Structure 1
Amino acid sequence: MFDVDYMLWSLVLIVFHLTEGLFAYAQHREPLSWRSMLFSRAYLVALVAATVEHELLRRVLSEWLIRKRVSLAVIWSISHPSTRYAGLMLCLVGEGIRKGSMWTLGPAFTHEIARERRMTHRLYQQGFYAAM
């Protein structure tokens, strides 16, 4: 059975990781790696868990809701295309904000989490950061 929600989710994830890697490459000109695309062992475990959760909810929850005679309005709101498109739009807006912020920072953006302040640190107040 073709699962539109899972396909959209997969597409959003693929686009996110590819653009993360491409932005990292464009700004730093370092060879792409799993790390530049934000893959780690913990992330992959979470990704597998999310996939399993999706399948369980899709198969078990929908049958359970029907057996319990839950209002069709509830089932409809969960599976309605407008819910899917609203989620997709939220993903696209979030992705646009993230990539716009990465573009604003240019080479100053890294995926590294700073544990202490560097003397060369600069506060950005233009682009997306002007609104913060």
Structure 2
Amino acid sequence: MDSNSYILLLYFFLLLLYHGGEYILTRLVHGSAGLGSFLFSIPYLLAQLLSLLEFRFESAEFSEWKQTTLHWLWLPAILLCACGLGIRFIAMISAGRSFTHLLQNEKRPEHLLITSGIYAWSRHPGYLGWFIWAVSSQLLLANPVCLLLFAYWSWKYFDIRIRIEEKNLVLFFGEDYLNYKHRTPVRIPFIS
């Protein structure tokens, strides 16, 4: 098996770890989980397909460059992916039933404002973890085009989502959320 095959195996293992972890943690925290807990969507699947196409194309057309780049990037990329997944999964566990995959328009009785632990370090550690994981996954594949696209698309998605979510959190928690927002950064670059 060549090094490209090993990298693809690592990549698929990380995908399995991410999606399996999301499902298992959702089931543990909320008592149930459906297919939506795997977090597949058409744009996400298309992005994954694009990343695999880029990897195969560059492996065929720029084989020497790809091999050299993969040799130097695979370990830092794996460590960054692990950090991203760790941050996300710790956020899910720390928030418990207050963590959901869907934006909430009404405050549920069990919805608490979590400001301790990892939430004292980042206002949206689940998003931060996903951002780090997604971008680092393209570093693992040494995909320069998808690295930039994943970084931009993820950033744009979270910039919009955080704005919407924080309007609701201000409605739910009022001054407590505003104080929390003032003292705790998001930590995704250029999102305040």
Tell me the TM-score range normalised by the shorter chain. 0.7 to 0.9
CA distance in structure 2 between the partners assigned to 1:38 and 1:31 by the alignment: 11
The percent identity for this pair of structures is 28
Return 5+ residue gaps in structure 2 as ranges. Answer: 123-192
Per the alignment, residue 68 of structure 1 pairs with none
Instruction: Summarize the alignment of residues 86-105 of structure 1 with structure 2, pairs less than 5 Å apart.
Output: 86-105=76-95
User: Taking structure 1 as reference, are residues 53 and 25 closer, same or farther at Cα in structure 2, changes over 3 Å only?
Assistant: same
- Report the Cα distance in structure 2 between the residues aligned to 1:38 and 1:108, rounded to whole angstroms: 18
| Structure 1 counterpart of 2:75, from 56, 71, 85 | 85
Q: Aligned equivalents of 1:130 and 1:95: distance in 2?
A: 18
Measure how far apart 1:112 and its partner are.
0.7
Could you say what secondary structure the match of 1:36 adopts? Answer: helix
Runs of at least 4 residues off by over 4 Å: none
Distance, in Å, in 1 between the alignment partners of 2:28 and 2:80 is 26
TM-score of the pair, normalised by structure 1? 0.78
Length-normalised TM-score, structure 2: 0.55
Using a 3 Å threshold, how does the CA distance of structure 1 residues 112 and 7 change in structure 2: closer, same or farther? same
Alignment of 1:130 onto 2:131:
no
* Equivalent in 10, 14, 17 of residue 15 of structure 1: 17
Q: What whole-Å deviation, never above 9, does each CA across 1:26-62 have from its counterpart, x for those lacking one?
A: 11112431x1110122221221111111111111122
Hey, what does 1:4 align to over in structure 2? 6
Greater helix content = 2
RMSD: 2.2
Partner of 2:62: 61
C-alpha separation between the residues in 2 aligned to 1:87 and 1:16?
A: 15
Gaps of 5+ in 1: 66-73
Post-superposition offset of 1:122: 3.5
